[in-house]
Amino acid sequence: MSTIPNTLAPQKTISYVKIAALNISMDELRKARAPIVNPETISGLLSKYADTESTVLPLSNIRVPGKTLMESLRASIHATFVNFGGGKLYDTLRYLVSQEWDSDPPAWRAGSSLRPHFFCPFCDNDVRFPRSEFDFKCLSCDADLTLVDYLGLLMDVNENSNDDAVAVNLMGLLEHLTLINFLRELVERGPRYRGRVLLLKDGPLMLRGQYSRLVDPIRGYLRHLHDEGLDYFLAGIEKTGAFADFITEMDTWFTDVGGVFVPQNRFILERIKHSGNAATRYGEKVLYGSKVYYRPDSRNVLVLNVPNSTNAFDRYQQDPTIGELRGIERIAKTVGSLVSVQFQNSIMPIIAVNRIASMSFYPSNNILERFTEAYLASNDK
């Protein structure tokens, strides 16, 4: 994500958001790990197997002609979901929120306290919307609403000044929906694909704040795959944060190569997060993957997030066991073979996809600044 102010009018800002994915085989990665690698080989991998999607958000003092700042931002966010991946991410959002893998999900039954709802951005009244619909009306003010409004992205902004928090949160939502969309496509393609692909996300399998409303549906979908006997392999890789920082504290006792350590709830609260009382269940509202440390060699320790087979919609295991982590043996073996020689506690695909997504490489921030200035100059509203 890159937020660009107008050089001549710095109160005007636009945010660019770019999501990148890299689809690459183990054979190709082995070539890239050879003692001597042709730079063109790396460039070829990044260009041939990469896919990116981008969007632009108007922030402070930028608006679409005839619309307020809030209306301009709302229209841009909606357009992002309609167009991102040809609408596939929007379809995945509907699939998750409506729990379409279940013909009669308890959360959608009449009177359920778990039924999805949100506050109307126009009148602030509670909206309980129809299942599996993209568009609907607010029954209080008759405003035209969409499923994107359910996400609550506009709660991060106000009519006078929009900071880039909305862009940061949109980027996070797009990342998680991209991941789950890839999983859905693998499931539809069958075991030949599903059982041979490891889906990796840069960062934890976590959604915070009001966006955690998607966590239960994601857990429900993953539990559905488990109950149906459908194998899948999915993990988040954490390179920063409290869990990554704790690696140095493990040097004296977590030394066995190939070792796996699954921290329990009390250990996390007392030793890693240093917060919470006896009743706190770390990650209950925000995680759809359990934390696990893996030492692939004497130099590296990886922080993985792996879905737990006992979790489900409105159900969370605070003290996971190794046997409950979906596909942990194959996941650990695979990521262990991808460890970066250059960067400690990192793996090559994550480093590569970061390079693809980086605004400083594809394209450069200078190009974005020139584009932004030219656009704002011709549309000075």
Q: What confidence score (pLDDT) does residue 363 get?
A: 45
* Tokens matching residue 295: 């030492």
Q: What pLDDT score does 160 carry?
A: 54
Query: Considering only CA atoms, which of 98, 148, 154, 88 is closest in space to residue 121?
Result: 154
Angle at 26 between CA 21 and CA 29, to 5 degrees: 75
- Is residue 153 packed enough to be buried (19+ CB in 10 Å), middle (13-18) or exposed (0-12)? buried
CB 57, CB 173: distance < 8 Å: no
pLDDT of residue 329: 96
Q: List beta partners, residue 20.
A: 52
**Token pair belonging to 222:** 């993953």
What six digits make up the tokens of 90? 């929007």
Residue 376 confidence (pLDDT): 56
Distance CA 259, CA 261 (A): 7
Q: Cα 53–56–144 angle (5° rounding)?
A: 100
Q: Is the full-model pTM beyond 0.75?
A: yes
pLDDT (0 to 100) of residue 30: 74
Measured distance CA(129)–CA(93) in Å, rounded: 14
Only one residue has tokens 């190794």, namely 322
Q: Can you give the pLDDT of all 381 residues of the chain as single tens digits?
A: 888 888 788 888 889 999 988 888 888 777 766 655 566 666 666 777 788 889 999 888 888 888 888 888 999 999 999 999 899 999 999 999 999 999 999 999 989 999 999 999 999 999 999 999 999 999 999 999 999 999 999 887 765 556 788 999 999 999 999 999 999 999 998 888 888 899 999 999 999 989 999 999 999 999 999 999 999 999 999 999 999 999 999 999 999 999 999 999 999 999 999 887 888 999 999 999 999 999 999 999 999 999 999 999 999 999 999 999 999 999 999 999 989 887 888 888 888 888 777 755 544 445 445 555 555 565 554
* pLDDT at residue 381, rounded to an integer: 44
Tokens of 281: 């269940």
Environment class of residue 92 by beta-carbon count within 10 Å: exposed (0-12), middle (13-18) or buried (19+)?
A: buried
Determine contact, residues 128/26, Cβ cutoff 8 Å. no
* Rounded CA separation 23/353 (Å): 10
- Under DSSP, the state recorded for 367 is H
Q: Are 315 and 350 in contact (CB under 8 A)?
A: no
pLDDT given for residue 380 in this prediction: 52
The pLDDT assigned to 115 comes to: 95
Q: Tokens 């004296």, residue? A: 252
* Apex 23 CA angle, 21 and 27, nearest 5: 145
Residues 307, 234: Cα–Cα separation, whole Å: 7
Instruction: Supply 141's token pair.
Output: 């003010």
Both structure tokens of 341 = 């020689």
Cβ neighbours of residue 114 closer than 8 Å, sequence gap 6 or more: 106, 107, 216, 313, 314
191/194 Cα distance (integer angstroms) = 5
pLDDT for the residue numbered 142: 96
Residue that the structure tokens 């931002």 belong to: 73
Percent composition of the chain: helix, strand, coil (DSSP 3-state, to 5): 40, 15, 40
Reply yes or no: is the peptide bond before residue 363 cis, omega within 30 of 0: yes
